[in-house]
Amino acid sequence: MLILGVDEVGRGCLAGPVVACACLFDEKFSYPEIKDSKKLSEKKRESLYNYILSNCIEYSFGIVCSYVIDRVNISNATKQAMQIAISGIKSDYDKVVIDAVKLKNLKRPSESPVKAEDKYLSVAAASILAKVYRDRLMKKLHIYFPEYLWYKNKGYGTKEHIEAIKRYGVCDLHRRSFLGEIV
Q: What is the CATH number of the domain that holds 74?
A: 3.30.420.10
8 contacts: CB under 8 Å, gap ≥ 6: 18, 19, 20, 21, 78, 81, 82, 99, 101, 130
Q: Determine the straight-line distance between the first and last CA of the chain, rounded to whole angstroms.
A: 49
Q: Is residue 172 part of a domain?
A: no
Q: Which has the closest alpha carbon to 173: 87, 153, 108, 61?
A: 153
pLDDT of res. 167: 97
Domain of residue 57: give its range.
3-136
Q: Model-level pTM? A: 0.97
Q: Is residue 164 part of a domain?
A: no
Percent over 70 (pLDDT), the chain:
99
Q: What is the pLDDT of residues 14-60, one digit of tens each?
A: 999 999 999 999 999 999 999 999 999 999 999 999 999 999 999 99
* Contact by Cβ (8 Å): 45, 132: yes
Mean pLDDT, residues 150-176: 97
pLDDT of res. 154: 98
Count of domains observed in the chain:
1
